[in-house]
Amino acid sequence: MAIYGAALALCQPLAACGSAETPAASTSDKVAAKNSPAIPADAPLVIAFGDSLYAGYQLGPNEGLAPQLQAALLADGVAARVQNAGVSGDTTAAGRQRLAYVLDNARVKPALVLLGLGGNDMLRGIGPDETRANLDAMLAELKKRGIPVLLTGMMASPNMGSDYARKFNPIFPELAGKYGVSFYPFILDNVVTDRTLMLADNLHPNAKGVSVMAEALAPLVEQALPDAG
């Protein structure tokens, strides 16, 4: 985890993993659909709702998490439309503010939402209690709407200190347990410690790194999707 700690320390002055100048990823999946094998019109909708790690920061239109996850699912015989709702720099507070809008404007009710926020809270030093409250509110909203969730976790950078880590790291497994949702403990597992899978900033995955993420998430998505396959 040494690379992880060093990389996040570099991101600390930016106060966000990603840049506000980077255009927000569209919540439309038109680009991915255009460049991917045909997906049936009635295929279940999966919304990938997160930050730059979901948005495909500095990657091509087919290289972000949504298109690569859609392709991984299709390779397993599961046709699902994965919509990119990642926004670089998003905190849990920002995500909480836009979640209802994204859900209300989805073409159909999502069969599953991947929820991946919290990394920018940690990098900004936002109190873990606030992060927990925002994630809790989003999970409560998704539960109220009857939408299954796959929660992807984040880990505190070592430079944040052990006290912060003791409060931050348990947020994700504890909320996953509280709401009974599917859970992937660390979104950058087996990626952030391999420089060949990271962009030059050592903060964001490159296309190969995203592929590792997608391959790891695909089985969990398949399990969480109602009547998948």
pLDDT at 8: 52
pLDDT of residue 196: 96
Three-state DSSP at 40 gives coil
Tell me what pLDDT residue 187 has. Answer: 96
Into how many domains does the chain fold? 1
Provide CB contacts within 8 A for 188, sequence distance 6+.
4, 53, 205, 213
Rounded Cα distance, 106 and 99, in Å = 11
Residue 229 lies in a domain: no
Catalytic site positions: 52, 201, 204
The reply to whether 26 falls in a domain is no
Q: What is the pLDDT along the chain (229 residues), one digit of tens a residue?
A: 433 544 454 444 333 444 333 334 444 444 443 455 689 999 999 999 999 999 999 999 999 999 999 999 999 999 999 999 999 999 999 999 999 999 999 999 999 999 999 999 999 999 999 999 999 999 999 999 999 999 999 999 899 999 999 999 999 999 999 999 999 999 999 999 999 999 998 889 999 999 999 999 999 999 999 775 4
160-175 in b/e burial notation, b at 16+ Cβ within 10 A?
beeebbebbbebbeeb
Distance CA 145, CA 140 (A): 9
Residues contacting 78, CB < 8 A, separation 6+: 218, 221, 222, 225, 228, 229
Strands 182-184 and 149-152, bridge-based pairing: parallel
- Single-letter amino acid code for the residue at 214: A
Please tell me the predicted confidence (pLDDT) of residue 34. 44
Note whether residue 60 is domain-resident: yes
- DSSP H helical segments within the chain, as ranges? 2-11, 30-35, 52-55, 65-75, 92-104, 119-124, 128-144, 162-168, 171-179, 207-224
What is the rounded distance in angstroms from the CA atom of residue 32 to the CA atom of residue 54? 14
Whether residue 121 is contained in a domain is answered as yes
CATH number of the CATH domain containing 126: 3.40.50.1110
In a domain, 111, yes or no: yes
| 80 lies in some domain | yes
Token representation of residue 24: 């927000």
Question: The pTM is what?
Answer: 0.85
pLDDT at 198 (0 to 100): 94
25 inside domain: no
Domain range holding 189?
A: 2-19+31-224
Contact assessment for residue 65 and residue 188, using Cβ atoms and an 8 Å cutoff? no
Is 98 part of a structural domain of the chain? yes
